[in-house]
Structure 1
């Protein structure tokens, strides 16, 4: 899943710290690149299942259009106010579409997609306090199984 983090080993998160951090945070920044090389960055909600980052994105967005052309993606989840509090995780790789596009909602029962059971349960609980995902028919799922993960926790520099 991850390559070796050469720089900043002293401040990198352990796998447990990384998983806890990603479970606690609510917003990530997603960077994509269009066919013409134009970059785009935007904020999204996400869930981390310990192996993959799941992004629930509007399908009529610049991000979605760019990912159709080039599935390469970089995602940053960060936190902290003062310099000594900064911490974060950067995940890179290729995004894969999982399930129907867009994901059905309302009166339409969504098709069985076993891969989505865990991320939809995690997402519904994290953002809506629900047991079941409230689909709106405008979003769909992207899965990033990272090829590279880099983390930092500047709080480890004190002392």
Structure 2
């Protein structure tokens, strides 16, 4: 269960708004902690299933190495250009590794719907092509903070 947001409640997204926002967006920014303690942030496509954020990451990346060593993560999804249209969410927690690594398409019922939706959303096809270079991470957030500055106009 995600922690309730304490600050910025007047501009936070409702559960329905947050679900719609995360479902409609494609790119997130994933923040990890490197071995030397330095933060590392990188963009990545994702899929939101209503409960968890699914990340399809290169297995030979700094991000993957960081998460193998320390699975704690912060992910930001945002949108907007002008101040009054900024909106987004930060999801934090611990990732789980799902399926084989790297993913080659071995049967994994837990990934069937995820891969189908990810392929449709990002590639416009019904089946995800496996390149033997990526694998799945699932973040079921322990805490979520959201904001929608468009709500400031009504305050």
Shorter-chain TM-score bucket reads over 0.9
Match of 1:88 in 2: 88
Shift of the alpha carbon at 1:35?
2.5
Query: Runs of at least 4 residues of structure 1 off by over 2 A?
Result: none
Match of 2:37 in 1: 37
Shift of the alpha carbon at 1:148?
0.3
Match of 1:139 in 2: 134
SS of residue paired to 1:44: strand
- Following superposition of structure 1 onto structure 2, how do residues 1-159 of structure 1 map, counting pairs within 5 Å? 1-104=1-104, 110-159=105-154
Q: Which runs of 5+ in 1 are unaligned?
A: 105-109
RMSD in angstroms over aligned alpha carbons? 0.8
Separation in structure 2 between the aligned mates of residue 158 and residue 18 of structure 1, nearest angstrom: 19
Match of 1:107 in 2: none
Separation in structure 2 between the aligned mates of residue 58 and residue 115 of structure 1, nearest angstrom: 19
CA deviations 1:134-159 (Å, max 9, x no partner) are: 11110000000000011100000103
Separation in structure 1 between the aligned mates of residue 76 and residue 113 of structure 2, nearest angstrom: 22
Separation in structure 2 between the aligned mates of residue 38 and residue 69 of structure 1, nearest angstrom: 13
Q: Which runs of 5+ in 2 are unaligned?
A: none
Shift of the alpha carbon at 1:66?
0.6
SS of residue paired to 2:117: helix
Separation in structure 2 between the aligned mates of residue 35 and residue 62 of structure 1, nearest angstrom: 10
TM-score normalised by length of structure 1: 0.95
How many residue pairs match? The answer is 154
Separation in structure 2 between the aligned mates of residue 111 and residue 27 of structure 1, nearest angstrom: 26
